[in-house]
Structure 1
Amino acid sequence: MKLFKTTLAGLMMTAAMTTAAAAQECETTLRSSDTHPEGYPTVEAVKAMAEEVRENTDGRICIEVFPSSQLGEEKDTIEQTQFGVIDMVRATLGTFNDIVPETQLFSLPYLFRDQQHMYNVVDGPIGDELAEAIAEHDLITLAYYDAGARSFYNSQKPIESIDDLSGMKFRVMQNDVFVDMMDALGANATPMPYGEVYSAIQTGVIDGAENNYPSYDSSGHSEVAQYFTLDQHLMVPEIVAMSKQAWESLSPEDQEIIRTAAENSETLERELWAEQETASKEAVEAGGAEIIEGIDKQPFIDAMAPVYEKYATTPEAQDLIKRIQETE
């Protein structure tokens, strides 16, 4: 027993010394928050960014990634980053809607034609302008990540046209835009917590829901709703943002190192997301799901006119939508 206690004490001392040594290596440690778990594309991309920053600053700057909502949910961690309580955050652009009004338009249905169109928008002048608007709220945008496209799935029938949605009951997030979208499509919106969707479909309370391939797969919803229609009605970018306070504490040289690493992580995250989507699609198809692709989306898009009129009420908003739609 005495030998065990001695050995344990030695291990604890060694661990403490290792931790202290690691802390001494980093002159600056930046804490980064993510709600997603270990292994998720966004988490792994920020980790890769951290590794590049550490390497290119000779260990002076370290980024410590806290996944799985360890530092709080997205809305809370965005506010903490604004005030400099934490240094970095990865969050969906939709969570910024109450903070940065310009972000609201990016949650409009069928705004982007496809993922490449979304990339072209956020990687160009519009993305730069959005970053400037976000900067006014003490947040420095470092990268735009991909979160996939949300599509409809249900337990009743293949949805091949807008008419097939008529009268069907779909779970949506508790968001006015989503409710209005379903109304415009002729379906019935049923807001409910995500965790209740499986049983609600299984018992017939709702006919289906909407989400991306990885969520459709990991949630098990493909087991009870075997018809997945790839209409891609919503693509909301995610961003990595840094506290303005933390950013301004860095030298211009270190800022450039972080920006470059963030841009590289952006490329990696999009690649990882594409791989995850492919794997999830293959998994649900192997499980018996029917994927309906190549539908005519124009009637769906045309039906959104009243939704756009309700939420794009200013000339500036209307001009931004026009510029997004015209981006090649």
Structure 2
Amino acid sequence: MTTTKMRNTFAIAACTLLTALPISAIAQQTVNIKLAHNGNTNPDDPQNVGVDAFKEMVEERSNGSISVQIYPAGQLGDARTIVEGIQLGTIEMGDVENGPMGGFVPEAMLWDLPFIFRDIEHAHKVLDGEIGQAVQEEYLEAGIRHLAYNDGGFRYFTNDQRPIRTMDDLEGLKIRVMESEVMVDTLNAFGASAVPMSFGELYTALQQGVVDGQENPMNLIYSQRFYEVQDYLSLSGHFYYPRQYIASNEWWQSLDDEHQEIIAEAAKEASNIQRDSLADYEIEMRKVLEEHGMEINEVEKEAFIETAFEEIYPSYYETLGSGDPEKGEDIVKAVMATE
């Protein structure tokens, strides 16, 4: 048989085989997911515990027809770049903090408001309820499919100048914040000088004195070794820090129903795994940071909370209400009234 005839024979056989397979079986041969985040590579970090669980569940439940490749530590860019890649469809999925999301979905600024949540249980109740779902739906307008919220934890101040016990102690300090309009406005209202900066630049900025301090959850303060360049950790809990599993909506629409269900359910379950992991990890991290020499102190929050309510919240009612400030105020009140 000639080479050409052999090729034709193989091609016919392949077409016959594909025709004989169910459509779902054909589709299942083609799904590859790039899942990006800009956290660290420590396998014990709750973020990695979550994404690793997601990968395992998806690949197992799809019988290997879906492959998940995880790109941590900003390998595909910082948080904003990852979201842009998801919009363009060059990245299928991301586990991204809320900081830059207000630039894509203004309603997501709700989660950036200072002291909007009383505690972690309150945060979960709101995020997993009707209000959280309503914000999720707004992502579709930006070409993004929001699958689930997971925890970044509450954020705390660190600096190399002095303990922050009251709002007056922030006066004059240059504090790095995420690239979030709400966060910048909040730190400035608290008396600090807010410096928006990408996470990848932060350690060097602290080391060189470009900024005096920063604010992050304990697990990131530890994983990024900020204790090497920061002396004081103040337990302000001023921002809650949700992350979210998000996907390119255009890519999502190309999946069959079976694959969508597998991925969506795995994202929700991975979020719960990540939340549980963070709760335990934060307790451990406080002890470790003290062992590394950080001085940890409580914070008098009353003046912070009063400033947030009076100066920050009203500035964002119109944005949160999609142009209707009364609606935005009602949303904030509904969050705070959630039991």
TM-score calculated relative to the size of structure 2? 0.79
1:102 touches 1:130 (CA, 8 Å); kept in 2? yes
Matched residue, 1:80? 85
Instruction: Kindly state the Cα deviation for residue 95 of structure 1 after the two structures are TM-superposed.
Output: 1.8
- Tell me whether 1:238 sits opposite 2:249 in the alignment: no
- Tell me whether 1:109 sits opposite 2:114 in the alignment: yes
- Tell me whether 1:300 sits opposite 2:304 in the alignment: yes
What pairs with 1:275-294 in structure 2 (closer than 5 Å)?
Answer: 275-293=280-298
1:197 touches 1:209 (CA, 8 Å); kept in 2? no
Task: Give me the CA root mean square deviation.
Answer: 2.6
> Number of paired residues?
301
- Deviation per residue, 1:235-272 (Å, 9 max, x gap): 13111112222222233233222222111101111122
What pairs with 1:238-277 in structure 2 (closer than 5 Å)?
Answer: 238-277=243-282
- Deviation per residue, 1:265-297 (Å, 9 max, x gap): 01111122233323321111112322223x442
* 1: CA distance, partners of 2:93 / 2:46: 17
> Greater shift after overlay, 217-226 or 299-308?
217-226
> Tell me, which stretches of 5 or more residues in structure 1 are unaligned?
1-23
Matched residue, 2:166? 161
- Residue among 186, 193, 206 paired with 1:198: 206
| Aligned partner of residue 215 in structure 2, secondary structure | strand
Amino acid at match of 2:37: D
Structure 1 residues 323 and 209, CA gap change in structure 2 (3 angstroms): same
* 2: CA distance, partners of 1:75 / 1:230: 27
Matched residue, 1:122? 127
Identity %: 34
What pairs with 1:13-162 in structure 2 (closer than 5 Å)?
Answer: 26-38=29-41, 39=43, 40-162=45-167
> Tell me, which stretches of 5 or more residues in structure 2 are unaligned?
1-26, 319-324
TM-score calculated relative to the size of structure 1? 0.81
> Greater shift after overlay, 267-276 or 234-243?
267-276
Amino acid at match of 2:207: S
Instruction: Kindly state the Cα deviation for residue 83 of structure 1 after the two structures are TM-superposed.
Output: 3.0
1:105 touches 1:312 (CA, 8 Å); kept in 2? no
| Aligned partner of residue 312 in structure 1, secondary structure | helix
Structure 1 residues 128 and 174, CA gap change in structure 2 (3 angstroms): closer
- Deviation per residue, 1:91-150 (Å, 9 max, x gap): 112222121111122212222222222111111111111111112222221111111222
- Tell me whether 1:324 sits opposite 2:327 in the alignment: no
* 2: CA distance, partners of 1:86 / 1:169: 34
* 2: CA distance, partners of 1:71 / 1:116: 33
Structure 1 residues 169 and 37, CA gap change in structure 2 (3 angstroms): closer
- Deviation per residue, 1:204-243 (Å, 9 max, x gap): x765332221233344433453332211111131111122
Matched residue, 1:228? 233
Instruction: Kindly state the Cα deviation for residue 174 of structure 1 after the two structures are TM-superposed.
Output: 5.5
Structure 1 residues 179 and 144, CA gap change in structure 2 (3 angstroms): closer
| Aligned partner of residue 303 in structure 1, secondary structure | helix
Structure 1 residues 241 and 114, CA gap change in structure 2 (3 angstroms): same
> Greater shift after overlay, 147-156 or 130-139?
147-156
Structure 1 residues 135 and 303, CA gap change in structure 2 (3 angstroms): same
* 2: CA distance, partners of 1:206 / 1:243: 35
